[in-house]
């Protein structure tokens, strides 16, 4: 079955620690995205990548970093500089960038709690 | 600034009735609009895409309309079932990314 795998499903960290969230896809999609979801708010874009070795900041990139060394993988690091890291993080992929009508395929998210 | 607004109140309806959800947007000129379904603790799942030159799109019990003059899309679930209970998100293209509304939570009572 093709899809997007995010791991782990739940993650707990102490304040001041960096943490990396995994996202792997076997859909052969070029574009990948990271969104953050908070209660009562729409999904907010953190970073996106349309091709290997290239990525762009989204609307709320501060305190986050990404890499795209392989087509299948787009890990997100939440750094200690992120002021409010506790949230539900969603990874997605699409055939090409969203302006070409492609729907997004989402993983089932990682819920990060920082105390 | 750009905004996407969905019904802020949750929708509670009786099984068999039609649920109607609203997505209004400002400062966008979208070529299309997408609707997604999200279950608790899961990622959104794509349901339907409607293009700016399409007035209406249907998929099984779902119907979407798109009025670019009113800057509004309506999402209808007809003959609703308890299994339709979920949060429904609308999304608009914004350069090479999608921007999402906050979603409307629908609960269908048996």
pLDDT computed for residue A28 by the predictor: 94
Q: pLDDT tens, A76-105?
A: 999 999 999 999 999 999 987 655 678 999
| DSSP-assigned states of every residue in A40-68 | TS--EEEEEEEETTEEEE-TT-TTEEE--
| Contact between residue B34 and residue B75 where contact means Cβ atoms under 8 Å apart | no
CA distance A107 to chain B (A): 6
- A74 in contact with B at a CB cutoff of 8 Å? no
Q: pLDDT tens, A12-65?
A: 999 999 999 999 999 999 999 999 999 888 899 999 999 999 999 999 999 999
Please indicate whether, in this complex, the C-beta atoms of B97 and A33 are within 8 angstroms of each other: yes
- Facing A98 at nearest CB: one of B93, B101, B102: B93
Q: How far is it, in rounded angstroms, from Cα B26 to Cα B35?
A: 17
Q: How far is it, in rounded angstroms, from Cα B99 to Cα B49?
A: 14
Residue A108 has pLDDT above 90, yes or no: yes
Classify domain B3-109 by CATH architecture. Answer: Sandwich (2.60)
Distances (CA, A) of B46 to A1, A29, A51, A64, B96: 17, 16, 22, 26, 17
Q: Kindly state the DSSP code that residue A30 receives in the 8-state scheme.
A: S
Task: Please give the structure tokens belonging to residue B89.
Answer: 């998100």
pLDDT computed for residue A41 by the predictor: 83
- CA-based radius of gyration for chain B: 13
pLDDT computed for residue B39 by the predictor: 97
- A30 in contact with B at a CB cutoff of 8 Å? no
Q: How far is it, in rounded angstroms, from Cα A87 to Cα B98?
A: 19
The segments of chain B whose pLDDT lies below 50 read none
Q: How far is it, in rounded angstroms, from Cα A40 to Cα B68?
A: 26
- Facing B97 at nearest CB: one of A4, A42, A98: A98
């Amino acid at each position: 079955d093709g899809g997007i795998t995010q791991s782990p499903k739940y993650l707990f960290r102490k304040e001041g620690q960096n943490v990396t969230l995994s996202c792997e896809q076997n859909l052969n999609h070029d574009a990948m995205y990271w969104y953050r979801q908070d209660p009562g708010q729409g999904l907010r874009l953190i970073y996106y990548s349309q091709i290997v070795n290239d990525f762009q900041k989204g609307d709320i990139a501060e305190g986050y970093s990404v890499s795209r060394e392989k087509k299948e993988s787009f890990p997100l690091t939440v750094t200690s500089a992120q002021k409010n890291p506790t949230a539900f993080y969603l990874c997605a992929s699409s055939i090409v960038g969203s302006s070409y009508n492609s729907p997004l395929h989402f993983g089932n998210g990682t819920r990060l709690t920082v105390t | 600034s750009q905004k996407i607004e969905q019904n802020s109140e949750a929708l509670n309806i009786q099984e068999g009735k039609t649920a109607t959800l609203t997505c209004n947007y400002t400062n966008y000129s979208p070529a299309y609009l997408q609707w997604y379904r999200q279950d608790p603790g899961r990622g959104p799942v794509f349901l339907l895409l409607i293009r700016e030159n399409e007035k209406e799109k249907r998929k099984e019990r779902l119907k979407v309309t798109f009025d670019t003059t009113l800057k509004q899309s309506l999402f209808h679930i007809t003959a609703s079932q308890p299994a339709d209970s979920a949060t429904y998100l609308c999304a608009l293209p914004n350069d090479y990314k999608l921007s999402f509304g906050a979603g409307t939570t629908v609960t269908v009572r048996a």
